[in-house]
Amino acid sequence: MNSNRKPIIAGNWKMYKTAAEALALINGLKGELVGVRDSDVEAVVCPPFTALYAVSTLLQGSSIQLGSQNVHWEKEGAFTGEIAASMLKELGVRYAIVGHSERRQFFGETNEGVNKRARAALASGIRPIVCVGEMLAQREAGQTEAVVRDHVTDGLAGFTKDAMLETVIAYEPVWAIGTGKTATPTQAQEVHAFIRELLAAMFDSSTADKVRIQYGGSVKAANAKELLGQADIDGALVGGVSLDAKGFIKAAL
């Protein structure tokens, strides 16, 4: 964490919560946030597409921001099952997760697709949260930096400095997602620092210094403080724990 970068904690609800369940969770979050100063962290929730409208309505006037879990790169068209950035923007979506490892693993997402999705989000005024991270076998084979380098350089290819400043990166080692195994703060910090070096090489050091890099993978109240205490960790992308209002807020604050 660095005082130049406001920490951002985003809850990735994945394929959980109907619209009605989502409203109950948002009411719970709002209750937990009573009396908390807005300026300390930026909190974002990323419900499934089907709950965005309901959640957006309930979040009006709240400091919690709305995010989506994906976004398509075309403005509109014959792309059955996809959602365009303008559709999300209209609902008040401010952030869009792109390139989550579950999209990469189970739905064939590529770095090129991640790049197109992130650019489309930016073009509509939505900030992409670009997910990067190695699988267990890749870490064990000593390929962590090579994999992360590809995710970052190809995922952010062609970005202007201004686009980069609107973008958040989430480093999520795949072996730590939903497994209860967290990267140690030192392991996470090493990769975060590496990502910041890559950004400095791609853009410049002042841009790299301003970009927020979240850690994700089994973040919970018990480990969040130590992770966020690392110099280059500027927040968290929280999965399982974000489905519980108390758990999410405890991890976030």
Beta bridge partners of 171: 132, 215
Tell the smallest beta-carbon distance from residue 240 to ligand PGA (Å): 3
Catalytic annotation on 72?
A: no
Exposure b/e, 219-251, CB count within 10 A at least 16 = b: bbeebbeebbebebbbbbbbbbbbbbbebbbeb
67 backbone dihedrals φ, ψ, rounded to 5°: -130, 160
**Annotated catalytic residue 192:** no
Q: Which is nearer to ligand PGA, 84 or 252 (CB)?
A: 252
Indicate the residue among 67 and 113 with the shorter CB distance to ligand PGA: 67
CB-nearest residue to ligand PGA: 239
Least distance from C-beta 101 to ligand PGA, angstroms?
A: 7
Extract the runs of DSSP E, i.e. beta strands, from the chain: 8-12, 42-46, 65-68, 93-98, 127-132, 168-171, 213-216, 235-238
Identified binder of ligand PGA from the candidate list 52, 219, 224, 227, rule CB under 6 A: 219
What tokens were used for 245? 């209002």
> Of the two residues 113 and 216, which places its CB atom closer to ligand PGA in the complex?
216
Q: Does 222 bind ligand PGA (CB under 6 A)?
A: no
Q: Is 164 in the site for ligand PGA (CB under 6 A)?
A: no
Site for ligand PGA in 189-218 (CB under 6 A): 216-218
Are the beta carbons of 223 and 182 closer than 8 angstroms? Answer: yes
Is the CB of 99 or the CB of 240 nearer to ligand PGA? 240
208: enclosing H helix or E strand: helix 205-210
Contact flag: residue 238 with ligand PGA (CB under 6 A)? yes
The active-site residue out of 100, 109, 134, 192 is 100
What is the set of active-site residues? Answer: 100, 172
